């Protein structure tokens, strides 16, 4: 069996409030931003601060908070879509920077909103196969470096951040059975088109989509309505599958911590799935959507605040870029 043994997270020092954002877009109001996405402030990585830097800080915080010796780690995995380099893997660099033994395995994997869940699934598999016993799962993203300065919608939603989680053969939350899914036909709905091998050179081109948003080849583009519709299709079915795979009924779930996409989407999911408001985590106010780190940040805060306690069963789920989705049950 695999367990979560420790969780910590790191947020960059710079905070951008709605007031600061609105000063750049006078046609907006602070209340309009807050009501639309549920975010009042978000953290932004410094110009010279990378996903690798943030992941290192989250890991060091984890080690200090839980008294973890880096020599105990026998595998490192980093979920990021903003790696420090095309190659080598940032996880390999972190192995050295964190003082983790060279006998440890390490790799990056490129996923976003569902990345934390996929990482838990891979870590559980490594433990089940006897390959590793103490896996450092890191999530780190600097989406704001991909956003066009005039992209007020995505700038209001996304925040930068990193999280660290130790998955081991013992701990405070047993990791249950997984549901994972992929629909690559929707890849263009959340994409940075240029910069990699398919289209290496920046084009400077952009088009206007049906919602009036500009789609820049060289910056992150998100088709909000398409992602919203995908989520409403995928999440209810995924929830049913998670319950079935874990031999549970909906009333057996004590709490839900889903990817913190935006407030409107989360509230719609809750209503469509008829979930009690007091059992459903929504908190983007001070951090925004930190992509692969939202679930770990949410779990850490809920544990620290006493919302999640021993003997509770918590459903966790992520969904978005890829398109991809995944979920499981954590038994505390």
- Statement to judge: residues 226 and 80 lie in one domain: no
Quickly state the pLDDT bin for 167 (edges 50, 70, 90).
Answer: very high
Per the structure, the complete domain to which residue 312 belongs is given by: 179-331
Q: How confident is the model at residue 194 (pLDDT cuts 50, 70, 90)?
A: very high
pLDDT for the residue 67: 98
Same domain, 232 and 259: yes
Q: Are 54 and 96 in a shared domain? A: yes
Active site residue 79: no
**Confidence check: pLDDT of 132 > 90:** yes
Q: Which of 43, 213, 216, 259 is catalytic?
A: 259
Shared domain check, 167 and 188: no
| CATH code of the domain containing 273 | 3.40.47.10
pLDDT of residue 27: 83
pLDDT, mean of residues 103-119: 97
- Same domain as 39, residue 166: yes
38 and 158 housed in the same domain: yes
Q: In this prediction, what percent of the chain has a pLDDT beyond 90? A: 90
- Kindly state whether residues 135 and 221 are assigned to the same domain: no
Helix, strand, coil: what percent of the chain each, to 5? 40, 25, 40
For the segment 294-330, what is each residue's pLDDT rounded down to a tens digit? Answer: 999 999 999 999 999 999 999 999 999 999 999 999 9
In angstroms, the CA 211 to CA 229 distance is: 14
Residues 158 and 196 in one domain: no
Residue 259 is among the residues annotated as catalytic for this protein: yes
Question: How confident is the model over 48-104, as pLDDT tens digits?
Answer: 999 999 999 999 999 999 999 999 999 999 999 999 999 999 999 999 999 999 999
> Which band of pLDDT confidence, cut at 50, 70 and 90, is reported for residue 137?
very high
Asked if residues 1 and 169 have their Cβ atoms less than 8 Å apart, the reply is yes
Q: 104 and 161 in one domain?
A: yes
What is the total count of domains within the chain? 2
What are the pLDDT digits (tens) for 9-33?
999 999 999 999 999 988 888 887 8
Asked if residue 132 and residue 16 are part of one domain, the reply reads: yes
Burial 222-247 (b: 16+ CB within 10 A, else e): bbbebbbebbeebbeebbebbbeebe
Confidence band, pLDDT 50/70/90 cuts, at residue 177: very high
The pLDDT value recorded for residue 209 is 74
Average pLDDT over residues 169-178: 98
Asked whether residue 314 falls in the same domain as residue 188, the answer is yes
Of 142, 171, 200, at which residue does a domain stop?
A: 171
289: annotated active-site residue? yes
Residues 145 and 24 in one domain: yes
- Cβ-based neighbour number of residue 283 at 10 Å: 17
Phi, psi of 297 (to 5 degrees): -60, -45
Which of 113, 116, 165, 302 is labelled catalytic?
A: 113
Pair of tokens at residue 79: 């979920």
Domain end (from 146, 171, 196): 171
* Last residue of one domain, picked from the residues 151, 171, 191: 171
Q: pLDDT tens, 202-259?
A: 999 998 877 677 889 999 999 988 999 999 999 999 999 999 999 999 999 999 999 9
pTM reported for the whole predicted model: 0.96
- d(CA 138, CA 162) in angstroms, rounded, equals 7
């Amino acid at each position: 069996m695999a367990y979560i043994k420790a969780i910590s997270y790191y947020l960059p020092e710079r905070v951008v409030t709605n007031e600061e954002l609105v000063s750049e877009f006078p046609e907006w109001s602070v209340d309009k931003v807050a009501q639309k996405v549920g975010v009042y402030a978000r953290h932004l990585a410094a110009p010279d601060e990378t996903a690798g830097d943030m992941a290192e800080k989250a890991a060091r915080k984890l080690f200090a908070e839980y008294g973890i010796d880096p020599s105990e780690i026998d595998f490192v995995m980093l979920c990021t879509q903003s790696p420090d380099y095309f190659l080598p893997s940032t996880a390999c660099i972190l192995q050295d920077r964190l003082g983790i033994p060279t006998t440890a395995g390490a790799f990056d994997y490129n996923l976003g909103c569902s990345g934390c869940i996929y990482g838990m699934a891979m870590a559980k598999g490594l433990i089940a196969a006897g390959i590793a016993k103490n896996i450092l799962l890191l999530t780190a993203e600097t989406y704001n470096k991909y956003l066009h300065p005039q992209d007020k919608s995505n700038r209001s939603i996304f925040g930068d951040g990193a999280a660290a989680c130790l998955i081991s053969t013992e701990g405070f939350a047993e990791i249950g059975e997984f549901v994972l899914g992929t629909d690559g036909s929707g890849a263009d709905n959340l994409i940075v088109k240029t910069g990699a091998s398919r289209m290496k050179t920046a084009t400077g081109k952009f088009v206007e989509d049906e919602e009036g948003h500009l789609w820049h080849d060289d910056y992150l583009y998100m088709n909000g309505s398409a992602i919203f519709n995908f989520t409403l299709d995928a999440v209810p079915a995924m929830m049913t599958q998670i319950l079935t795979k874990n031999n549970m009924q909906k009333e057996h779930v004590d709490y839900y911590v889903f990817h913190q996409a935006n407030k409107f989407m989360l509230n719609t999911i809750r209503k469509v799935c008829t979930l009690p408001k007091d059992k459903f985590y929504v908190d983007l106010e001070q951090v925004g959507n930190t992509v692969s780190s939202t679930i770990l940040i949410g779990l850490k805060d809920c544990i620290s605040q006493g919302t999640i306690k021993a003997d509770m069963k918590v459903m966790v789920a992520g969904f978005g870029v890829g398109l991809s989705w995944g979920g499981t049950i954590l038994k505390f």
